[in-house]
Amino acid sequence: MAINDLVLAMTGASGAPYALRLLEVLLRAGRTVHFTISPAGAEVLLHEMDVRLNLARLQLRDLLGSRADGTALAQFQYHGHQDFGSGIASGSFLTGGMVICPASMGTVAAVAHGLSQNLIHRAADVHLKERRKLILVPRETPLSLVQLDNMRRCCEAGAVVLPAMPGFYHRVESIRDLVDFVVARICDQLGVEHSLMHRWGEG
């Protein structure tokens, strides 16, 4: 059974452009996106993209501006990061997968050790226990042994660790190309069709 709903969470690591581009692509693909963001994630978004959010009443236009058309507005659902009454906090709420992009090392640690200190941690834990796709997109360098071990634990639990490491073989001409490379790889993992880049071996 194909499930249209996807969860996208933003946390306090560098890489906000990846998340906003992913949100835009998922909505354009007709997917319903359940979005949540931590306060640290909102701070990074302000610093990297000059996007200021009111987390008490966040709307899609706050994130995508004029790119938030009527169809996308209907497909976007926001959940406060401390709202444990949200549907995505329960395994009975069906989704086609979850992406944490960017994933801070603190969030990766929480996922690795089964902590549920906020809705992002809880939703990730739900996806692991229900054997659904969970994709973590860390953006950190260098990596300590503790961080590497936490990512290993996440992999062993069933998550996909997909670091924001763009390639250059698709003839990069802009920063957008680098962002789209990572977003394309995330979409591939989710089974979301896209035309963001030329694949290796294509003419």
Q: Is the pLDDT of residue 1 over 80?
A: no
Q: What is the DSSP string of 80-147?
A: -TT-TTSGGGSTTS--S-EEEEEE-HHHHHHHHTT--SSHHHHHHHHHHHTT--EEEEE--SS--HHH
Asked whether the beta carbons of 62 and 53 are under 8 A apart, the reply is yes
Higher confidence at residue 21 or residue 202?
21
pLDDT tens by residue, 162-199: 999 999 988 899 999 999 999 999 999 999 999 888 88
Q: What's the chain's average pLDDT?
A: 95
User: CB under 8 Å to 34, separation ≥6 — which residues?
Assistant: 5, 6, 7, 8, 77, 79, 86, 87, 88, 95
The C-alpha atoms of residue 98 and residue 35 are separated, in whole angstroms, by 10
| Entry field: residues in the chain | 203
Handedness of CA 29, 31, 35, 41 (dihedral sign): negative
Give the CA count within 13 Å in the CB-facing half-sphere of 57.
Answer: 0
pLDDT band at 203 (very low <50, low <70, confident <90, very high): low
What is the homologous superfamily of the domain 5-190 according to CATH? Flavin prenyltransferase-like (3.40.50.1950)
Helix (H, G, I), strand (E, B) or coil at 7: strand
